Structures are given as structure tokens and as C-alpha cells.
Amino acid sequence: MSERVIIGRIGEIALKGLNRMSFEQKLAKNMKHAIKDCGDFKISWSQSRFFVEAKGEFDIERAAENICKVFGLVSVSIADKISSDFDEIAKCAVEQVRQKLENNPGKKLTFKAETKRGLKSFPMNSREISTEIGAVILEKFGGRLSVDVHNPDFIVYTEVREASYVYTEIKPAQCGMPVGSNGKACLLLSGGIDSPVAGYMIAKRGVSLVAVHFYSYPYTSERAKEKVLELAGIVSKYSGPIKVYVVPYTETQLAINDNCRPELSTVIMRRSMMRIAERIARSNGCSALVTGESIGQVASQTMHALYCTNAVATMPIFRPLIGMDKVEAVALARKIGTFETSILPYEDCCTVFTPKHPKTRPNIDELIEEETKYNYKELEDTAFKNCEIIHC
């Protein structure tokens, strides 16, 4: 009797020493969260493998898909679990190969068998198991199959442990570290391509996310806000739940627009955003801010402008896209599934108020002097107090 189970393989966690256990527990918790809607299951782990087994009704295909997005796993397979008995293993391998052939009607295919034996009391070694499985498969399907050990069309994998596992597919997962194992950061999330990717990259290293979105209604529409929440929802499939702070930013932005020299207004606005974001970050126990900035992408991201924006923050600002070209950010956005939402044509508050000729080499003293001409603090306080909080 075989039972279908999910196998998840860990990567960097395996290199952890004494605290490996706490990383594994975090990973198990995150996997559980990712598949909570897929039915009744239990999770266990031993050595470098996590196992998800059905306890009742369980949508294993969808669960495997969701688990592929959980940081900390290198790859995922759906396997048949059987007792560690050669005849059972061979029977199971034959069934899986039969499926492969049925899915490729009329085609001649090549294969090889690969085995890992963890159960040292098993009477055959890995090489003998592979050879025997290969022989049984060839005996059954020799007309349509041949062995190619260098470049086979598929591989029949067998793992012999207390129980044994047979599978033919290994899906790559995200790698990284389990979210929650490495503190919390606050992501400045616009509706663009870059910031969701930046959030994904930081979460990948085990960091939980809180997000802040500056919203200038009615200059930016309700649809623009929905788009940002949708992006947070997509990133949360990887990062786990994200608390999104929507900051009512219209009054502050209008004040900056009305009171600053236009060529300085963008960087002054970015500094104001950092001040508010840092307050939200601090109130949520975050130890860093995260943005999607990349050197030279726009006027507010020249080295000089980044210097001036940075100078207002006391927390580190992480910019994981800093050395990336747009094409690289787009490729990642496509891979993680945010791209199609990011390119929906709803305006961002940064772009609505962009001056015609922003200064690409702003001077920090000049900026600070310009900022003192109006008391933005009160407006920023009000914006901070009136944030709308949405759980994504």
C-alpha cells in the first residue's frame, strides 16, 4: 500500500549548528501556514527532509505548489511512501514509470534509477537497489524505455529510510531562510515593479515584513491602493502575513508641493516618507527599512539623492535592488508573480507630483534649509496617527 506525501529538502538551515532546531521549527510553522487551506495533514522532519502527510482530505498538488514558495526549502517532490521492502519499492517504481509513459503516448524515453539509502540495515546498498530497480523497469517496459545514465528524460528516485519514498520529479523551491528567523523590517511598498521584489528578497533571508504605502487620495485612486494590497498579498505567499499601513499622505504632499522649490520637492518628500516609515517601523519592532531603489534609476535615486534621503533615517535602509538593472528586476518580478499586477496603469503618489526638472545632485545643507521653511512635523504626525492598517 502506498501513500502520497510531500518531501521538502532544506538548504542553508542544514549548515546551522546548535540553533538548527529553532530554524526547523520556524520552517515547519511557515509550511503549516502556507497549506492551512489544503485540508488535513501532519508535518514531520528528520535529517534534511521535511515530510507532509495527509491525515484526511488533503489537496496534495496545491499544497506542494504552496510549499514551493516557503523560504528555507531548496526543492520539493510529491512521492509515494511505502514500507522499506524491495518488492514494494520496485512495484511502486513500475507504477510511476507506467504513469510517465501514459503521459507521453507513443514516445520512446530514456531513464535512470538513483537511490539514497539512509537505512543501513537494508540488505542492499544504493547501487544495488538502483541496478535492480532499473532491471525491473526494463523488464516491464523495455520496448519503450532504455537507460541513459548521463542525460535521461527522467530519473526514478528512491530514498530508503525507516519508510521508503519513490518519485520522479524534483521541483526547485525558493531557498533562503525561514521567515521569522531573522527579525523584522519595514518595506516601503509602492505599486511599481521594484518594491515588491525588494520585499521578496529581504523576506528570503528570513526577515518578516511590515509594509507602508503612502497614499494621496484623490490624486491617487482607490484602485491604486487595491493594486498595492494585491501586491502585498502576492508577496505574502512567500513571506507570510504582511501588515500593511496605508498612510494618508495627501496633506503632507500638498504642503511639500506648495512650499518647496520644485527641483527639491521629490527628495524632500522622500525624506518625509522615511521619517514616517521609520516611526511605523519602530512601533512594530522592525530594525530596518527596505526600498526598491536602484542607483541611477530616476532622479531621486542618483548617488546624491540617495545620500540625502538616507541622511534622515536613523535605521539602516536596505535596498536589495541597488545594483540591479530594470530588466533584472522585471525578470524577478515575473518569477515571483508580481509583474502583471505591477504594470497595471494606476498612478503612484511619487509620480503624480513629479516636478519637470528635479535636481539630480541635491545638496544636503540646501535641502535641510528648504525643509525648515515649513513645519511638516504636524502633518506627518497626523498622517502617522491616521494610518489605515490592513492585514494581507
Note whether 189 binds ligand ATP by CB under 6 A.
Answer: yes
Q: Is the CB of 23 or the CB of 249 nearer to ligand ATP?
A: 249
Nearer to Mg ion, 69 or 319 (CB): 319
By CB under 5 A, residue 338 contacts Mg ion:
no
Beta strands in the chain (DSSP E): 3-10, 39-46, 49-58, 73-83, 109-117, 145-147, 154-160, 163-167, 171-172, 184-188, 208-215, 243-248, 289-290, 317-318, 388-391
Instruction: Let me know: does 196 contact 235? Beta carbons within 8 Å.
Output: yes
Cβ atoms within 10 Å of 358's Cβ, excluding its own: 18
Interface region with ligand ATP, contact rule CB under 6 A, candidates 30-38, 84-92, 288-296, 370-378: 288-296
Query: Are residues 197 and 271 in contact, defined by beta-carbon separation less than 8 angstroms?
Result: no
DSSP annotation of 182 reads S
Q: Does 293 bind ligand ATP (CB under 6 A)?
A: yes
Phi, psi of 185 (to 5 degrees): -135, 160
Bridge partners, 61 (sequence order)? none
Q: Counting contacts by CB under 6 A, is residue 214 touching ligand ATP?
A: yes
Of 37-45, 54-62, 190-198, 281-289, the window that binds Mg ion (rule: CB under 5 A) is: 190-198
Using the rule CB under 6 A, is 313 a contact of ligand ATP?
no
348 binds ligand ATP (CB under 6 A): yes
Question: What gap in Å lies between CA 233 and CA 59, rounded to an integer?
Answer: 21
Using the contact rule CB under 6 A, the part of the chain among 9-17, 19-27, 37-45, 187-195 near ligand ATP is 187-195
Give the count of residues interacting with ligand ATP (CB under 6 A): 20
Asked if 195 touches ligand ATP (CB under 6 A), the answer is: yes
101 and 109 in contact (C-beta within 8 Å)?
yes
By the criterion CB under 5 A, which residues form the site for Mg ion? 190, 192, 348
By the criterion CB under 6 A, which residues form the site for ligand ATP? 188-190, 192-195, 212-214, 291-293, 297-298, 300-301, 348-350
